[in-house]
Amino acid sequence: MRRGSVPGVERSAVDSDKKGPGVTGIEAAQVLWHRAACADWLAARGGYGRALEASGGARLVQLDAWYHDELPSLLAARTPAWLSLDELVEVVQWKMHRGTYRARNLALVRQNAPEEVEAASRAAFAAMPHPGTPISRLSVLKGVGPATASAVLAAARPDLYPFFDDVAAAAIPDFGRVEYTAKGYARLSDRLRERAALLTVGCPSDGWTPHAVECALWAAAGGKAGA
């Protein structure tokens, strides 16, 4: 293994030789997937802010700052941890501004009673670090499927749970069709956890988690603006 490189990453004879401004969107993220250099992954992660602004402007930048900087501290300060209805609505806003906006889904989420959200989130957080049970416990709420559930869990434990994002899935060349189910999330999260583990070995000082890997892939693709 070369210094500053990721072990176990098989270099693609096609994708990993592509460089330059002509490579954009999902193709650029697929190139990153085949890269073993820590510097390449750090550079992609460093472009996350630019991808946010290009994908959703100031509103998405604001939502993302709350999601990554404020929400984790709010959850960590509660023993046991739980999520409020207002916070769930903000998580859904973040998810939709980063991906596809669905007004009906947001309306369904707002129909949940505050006590229902608190109870479901307490049960989900109590089930961590199980890979699947927290997803199912959050999915009992109206308008909450595996993707929204994963966004909640990634805020609480990014070292365990990546966000279920179709851009990240498309960045993995052999991943295949994305199914928005608990099983589909398990497939993606397994791959992102594996890559985070390899990055942690090869780039131990860079703070890689499954969620950070997902963010790097999303940024490499240019976010939803590039994908």
Q: Rounded to the nearest 10 degrees, how much is the dihedral formed by the CA atoms of 192, 193, 194, 200?
A: 110
With respect to residue 5, please indicate whether it lies within any of the assigned structural domains.
Answer: no
Per-residue confidence (pLDDT) for residue 23, from 0 to 100: 61
**Total count of domains within the chain:** 1
With respect to residue 187, please indicate whether it lies within any of the assigned structural domains.
Answer: yes
Q: Does pTM surpass 0.85? A: yes
With respect to residue 205, please indicate whether it lies within any of the assigned structural domains.
Answer: yes
Domain range for 142 is 15-226
Plot region of 137 (φ>0 → left; ψ -120 to 50 → alpha; else → beta): alpha
With respect to residue 148, please indicate whether it lies within any of the assigned structural domains.
Answer: yes
With respect to residue 6, please indicate whether it lies within any of the assigned structural domains.
Answer: no
Q: Is the pLDDT of residue 154 over 80?
A: yes
With respect to residue 1, please indicate whether it lies within any of the assigned structural domains.
Answer: no
Provide mean pLDDT across the span 65-92: 98
Crossing angle between the packed helical segments 85-98 and 48-65, to the nearest 10 degrees: 160
Provide mean pLDDT across the span 60-85: 98
With respect to residue 159, please indicate whether it lies within any of the assigned structural domains.
Answer: yes
Per-residue confidence (pLDDT) for residue 18, from 0 to 100: 46
With respect to residue 4, please indicate whether it lies within any of the assigned structural domains.
Answer: no
